[in-house]
Amino acid sequence: MEIRAVILAAGQGTRMKSDLPKVLHKACGKPMLEHVIAATRAVGVERPVVVIGHGAAQVRTTVKEDVAFVLQKEQKGTGHAVMQTRPLFEGYNGDLLELFGDAPLLSPATLESLVRFHREGGFAATMLTAVVEDPAGYGRVIRDSATGHVVKVVEHKDASEAERAVREINTGIFCFKARDLFEALAEVKPNNAQEEYYLGDVLPILQKRGKPVGALVVANPLEGLGVNSRAQLAEAEKILRLRKAGALMDAGVTIVDPDNTYIDQDVEIGRDTVIYPFSFLEGRTKVGGECLIGPNTRLVDTSLGARVEATYSVLVGSEVEDDVTIGPFAYLRPGTQVRSRAKIGDFVELKKSVVGEGSKVPHLSYIGDATIGQGVNIGAGTITCNYDGVAKHPTLIGDDVFIGSNSNLVAPVKVGDGAYVAAGSTITRDVPPASLGIGRARQQNIEEWARRRRKGHGEGAG
Q: Which residues are catalytic?
A: 363
Q: How far apart are alpha carbons 44 and 396 in whole angstroms? A: 51
Handedness of CA 396, 399, 404, 405 (dihedral sign): positive
Q: Which residues have CB under 8 Å from 193's CB, separation 6+?
A: 155, 157, 158
- What b/e sequence results for 224-259 when a residue is b if at least 16 CB atoms lie within 10 Å of its CB, and e otherwise? bbbbbeeebbebbbebbbeebbeebeeeebebeebe
Phi, psi of 269, deg, nearest 5: -135, 135
DSSP state of 257: -
Of 265, 302, 264, 299, whose CA–CA distance to 279 is shortest? 299
Q: Which residues have CB under 8 Å from 405's CB, separation 6+?
A: 379, 380, 381, 382, 423, 424
DSSP state of 307: T
Q: Which residues have CB under 8 Å from 1's CB, separation 6+?
A: 94, 95, 119
DSSP run (H or E) holding 227: none
Of 293, 128, 342, 338, whose CA–CA distance to 220 is shortest? 128
Q: Is 406 exposed, middle or buried (0-12, 13-18, 19+ CB in 10 A)?
A: middle
